Amino acid sequence: MGQAATQPSINWHLKENARDHHTSKFSSKELTVRRGQAFIITFNGTEQPEQNLTFIAETGPKPSKPAKTKATFGISSTVSKDSWSAVLQSTSSNSVSISISSPPNAVIGRYKLSVQTTSADSSSPASLGTFILLFNPWSSGDDVFMPNEAECEEYVLEEFGIIFGGNKNHINGFGWNFGQFQGDILNICLSMLDRSLNYRKDPVTDVSHRNDPKYLGRVLSAMVNANDDQGVVLGNWSGKYEDGKSPSSWTGSGEILQNWKKSGFKPVRYGQCWVFAAVLTTVLRCLGIPTRTITNFSSAHDADGNLRVDEFYDASGNHLDMAADSIWNFHVWNESWFSRSDLGPSYSGWQVLDATPQEESGGIYQCGPASRNAVKEGEVDLDYDCPFVFAEVNADCMYWNYDPATGKKTLIFSESNTVGQVISTKAVGRDDRVDVTNDYKYEEGSTKERDIFKKARKKLGLGDKFDPTAPTQQEIDQKPDISGRFKVADRLEVGKDLNLVLFLANLQSDVKIVQVNMTAWSTVYTRRPVHEIWKDSISVTLSAKEEKHFPITIPYSKYQQQLTSDNTIQVTALCHVEGGIPVLVERSITLDNPAIDIQVLGEAKANKEVDVEVIFTNPIDTEVRDCVLQVEGNDLLRGILEINIPPLKAKEKSSTKFKLIPFEKGPKHLLVNFSCDKFANIKTFKMVNVID
């Protein structure tokens, strides 16, 4: 082997290239560009005429041309559409400027770039350094091409998001800092790919597939959860999080991803669905795949794939945690935007990915990409995991009365329009909620919607198959003698007594005697019962067609110790009607935290100090302790600010001031999380417009 070439010095034109490639927000000193688009470099140190230059771009552990992880290309007069190319821009006595283009389907990741002079065959290539190549939603040849500029801004470049939670009757949104351009996040995302099971099994093949957003989306849906692969976040739905951080305490993905790296890639404790979805949003936006979070209210977890969710209650009205199936108050997943060459153009566009470990797919906890159009049309035989996503928004519900002593179950009633309601996401360019339910299914109760449901059942082989666990037609057709509902009397707030009203109506023309067994349990947002907090029973006589109402009060003292950080309570009344079938009345309620207020005192100017005040009033009659304020916001402060606040007496107001020095102009979001021994994770955010 001949003499190594002298090391050329290179100018990566970081600023100009970043501006042209929409990568200016990355804080890295390494060139970061998008595929299918040219970038400029200038270097010196080659004595040869530029016509004799050959470039080598390579990525992965064993770069090769067949795997498309290595490209060798000389100077050409025009850009090639489907391969790497270099076009001469200018030359001077000792330097040369070159425009390098990658194909729109290039493998993404960190590349090594070298140059060789063809006349000196004996010399080995001289390294120019490394650069990072990402997906390019601004390029029409890319699988992730998104024609709408405002959507590209929101779903790739926006670092702030709003995630929706609560329940279908009471939706609340909270801010999240995706932070995909901050600090070391890009490197962490790249190392995540190199820690996947696929990479560990066969690194060469894995890297060669990294040109494909559907492949990467599926791999990352597995890597964001800790199951199977020591991924990023460990899930916990027990309501007890002492040996980690409560899932509702996080305000952004940055801290989670940094902690994962700092600990030597040990799973971060703990997450629930919105945490998995938010972290996956960060990673995919960082790599250039347009991505958003979606919240599905009354979301079915159909564990056995029969498009039916079975829930069981005992005679006292306790919701029994005995079935693998469940209906969550809400569930958050992701949609990513890319084409589906494997399915055909009508299935391109938004694709569902879900990093929450619910059911295995292909032997590991991963989910998607499932084409949203395929879900809407009931095409449940199409890749990947369409039946599971279809069930999340469409499953029928069966409510059973179960006797633990005999093992006998009796159908109380079935419903076909409970699941999949007010499906929500953040609006483009503003802090509002948008309803996307109609993109997932046809109107509830319409003939079209039922036809699609039947089509899906047929495709899954459920059409005519006898199911011994299913209710008989006779059970389904039986009609109750009474109806009931819970009404919320006033706003439900943590720290106050809860006032509800139970309405019972006799639907028949004769007298009905009803034994009503009522319970209230604190739950996590998946409706999994954690603690019983209240029970009562009453005997009611209803005259013909009569409606009666019964006020219910659950004192704060009863639920204060038992409430989970989700602030959710399930109230149930199981009504045993003499001579008739039992009637179940239930309601999931989400309690509001007390308010917290942020004020920016004066104008926020770039690189100038500004005061911020956070005001909280203790609304209860006892002192609150262990008060901690956590603040974060990209371009407003670095990292997370944590402030300990002295205990607050009953009804006392606290004012906490701190200083910010914003370092970038434009609209920025400040996120605040306040916790104490009586209130968990009170969140709010404020838009701060930073001027020059």
Tell me if residue 273 is catalytic.
yes
Tell me if residue 354 is catalytic.
yes
- For residue 345, give the DSSP letter: G
Sequence letter at residue 542? L
CA distance 502 to 483: 11
Tell me if residue 439 is catalytic.
no
Give the chain's length.
Answer: 692
The pairing of strands 160-167 and 170-177 is: antiparallel
Q: Which of 142, 152, 212, 273 is catalytic?
A: 273
The DSSP annotation for 5-60 comes to PP--EEE--HHHHHHHTT-TT---SSEEEETTSEEEEEEE---S-GGGEEEEEEES
CA distance 53 to 119: 9
The DSSP annotation for 179-226 comes to -TTSTTHHHHHHHHHTTSHHHHH-HHHHHHTTT-HHHHHHHHHHHSB-
Q: Which of 22, 301, 319, 331 is catalytic?
A: 331
CA distances (Å), origin 271, targets 303, 461, 526 = 20, 35, 13
The DSSP annotation for 493-548 comes to BTTS-EEEEEEEEE-SSS-EEEEEEEEEEEE-TT--EEEEEEEEEEEEEE-TT-EE
For the stretch 247-258, what's the b/e string if a residue is b when 16 or more beta carbons lie within 10 angstroms of its beta carbon? bbbbbbbbbbbb
* One-letter-per-residue 3-state SS of 367-400: CCCEEHHHHHCCCCCCCCCHHHHHHHHHCEEEEE
Q: Which of 142, 206, 354, 635 is catalytic?
A: 354
For the stretch 163-193, what's the b/e string if a residue is b when 16 or more beta carbons lie within 10 angstroms of its beta carbon? bbbbbbebbebbbbbbbbbbbebbbbbbebb
Say if CB 253 and CB 177 are below 8 A apart.
yes
Which residues have a catalytic role annotated?
A: 273, 331, 354
